[in-house]
A and B are shown apart, each in its own frame.
Chain A
Amino acid sequence: MTRAFTATVAIVSIAALVVFDLVVAPPNPYQAPAVFALGSGSAASGGFCGALPK
């Protein structure tokens, strides 16, 4: 068995996770923010490991 197998498992697992999530929580492109946060005028609101939850 080679790394081709494990790499394929990794990429298929990620694809499966994304498909699972698309079913559970479909995105809405009409609520998309501006391309760049810098200069958008909107407050940053993403989750980040280097901060306490808001």
Chain B
Amino acid sequence: MTQAAVSDVPAERPASVGFRRGVLILAGLVMIGLVALFVGARYGLLLAVGLGLGVLLEGMRFGFAGPWRAMILRREPSGLVAQLLSIALVAIVAIPLLTSHAGELVGAEAPIGFAMVGGAFVFGACMQILLGCGSGTLVNAGSGNPVALVALPFFAIGSFAGAYGLIWWTNLGALPILQFRGVTGLVITLVLLALVAGVTLWRAAPGTVWLSRRHALAAVILAGLAILYLAVAGQPWGVVYGLGLWAAKVVNVFGVDLSGSAFWSAPGSVARLHASLLTDYTSLSDIGLIAGAFGVAAWRRGGLDAKLPNYRARAWVATIITGFLLGYSSRLAFGCNVGAFFSGISTGSLHGWAWFVAAFAGAFVGIRLRPILGLEART
């Protein structure tokens, strides 16, 4: 996540560090308290979960794009194996809960289709170009990564635009929604995850760590937070819906007619357009991801002292276009690395598996494009 050299700064006094960290903790608690008091306890708790996710992903340097890159380029399996472990842990709890509490809890319910698979492929490429996925872009922006900060608003606009035409894209051809449920569904999910982990370890470079302690710990905590999210919200952890809603709300305030979109004119979408953002689950966790990552960066000694890198103009143009494509493609794909891959597979949706295959294939393309677009030195 760090792309710049740390500048020479004088050492901070311990008292000053303690004060800063105290302010950060207080600010987090005040945010949660205010939302719980003035919006509702569920929303305050979801903001707390979002903050926890941001602290976890930034604090333990755990993500999705980086581990895929490490596996593809250096055949280092630890991060990818940790992702699979975390998904398996969530599935062990989530699939039985979704079976026993159908209606009260919902999992990912998306059809596999041409646009879905194509969107996942493009998203997989784009997340490697920017080295930031759905959650990663938010976390990176919160910790001061300038590329993620520039990409984020275009990610939101892309998510809004992708949702606008989602029904049209899906009608190009899609299978019925297919889900794994019950004991059989859980067993199938765990066997498939074990198979992918087995192939990953088989392809690992000799001498590499299969699963580092840091990655294992992060995977367990991530699973715990994702399960808590499901129990509180009644739906799995997602990212891109909230970003699209932010853009849609701004557009709506300026009087743009959204009735031409089957997605944004659906009763549920209309209700959320007129409701507070602080009652939208994905918005709350998105805000938490940014604020939590900011908190960790500000907590660290010198965490925000790194000088900003100098990129050429083409890199910034690529950032804007790729940011938009991240948002657009993730809507067509019925989710990003979080909503489709992590939450899709862990809640038994077959589209999560299709997403994984297509996005991983796209990652190979993205890794090749990144240096060409000026976002890293060519090797």
Contacts and interface: CB of A to CB of B under 8 A. Distances in A.
B336 interface: yes
B294 A10 contact: yes
A35 B232 contact: yes
A21 B278 contact: yes
A38 B101 contact: yes
Nearest to A6: B144
Interface residues of B, number: 90
Contacts of A31: 40
Interface string A5-26: 1110111001001101110111
B186 to A, nearest CB: 18
B231 A38 contact: yes
Interface in B335-366: 335-336, 339-340, 343-344, 349, 351-352
Nearest to A53: B266
B275 A49 contact: no
- Decide if the interface of chain A is mainly helix, strand, loop or mixed: loop
B370 interface: no
Interface in A26-41: 26-27, 29, 31-41
A22 B291 CA distance: 18
Contacts, number: 209
B127 to A, nearest CB: 15
Contacts of B108: 48, 50-51
B290 interface: yes
B331 interface: yes
A39 B45 CA distance: 16
Contact of A37 (B4, B233, B331): B233
A45 to B, nearest CB: 7
Given A11-B290, A38-B97, A49 B334 contact: yes
Contacts of A24: 249, 253
A3 B4 contact: yes
Interface stretch (B63-71, B81-89, B208-216, B280-288): B280-288
A41 B103 CA distance: 9
A54 B308 contact: no
A2 B279 CA distance: 34
B234 A27 contact: no
B117 interface: no
Interface of B: 4, 7, 37-43, 45, 97, 101, 103-111, 141-146, 149, 152, 166-167, 170, 230-236, 238-242, 244-246, 249-250, 253, 262-263, 266-269, 272, 274-282, 287, 290-291, 294, 297-298, 303-308, 330-331, 334-336, 339-340, 343-344, 349, 351-352
Which 3 A-B residue pairings sit nearest by Cβ, starting from the closest?
A32-B40, A37-B234, A3-B144
Given A3-B143, A7-B142, A11-B294, 4 more contacts: A2-B307, A6-B141, A25-B249, A47-B269
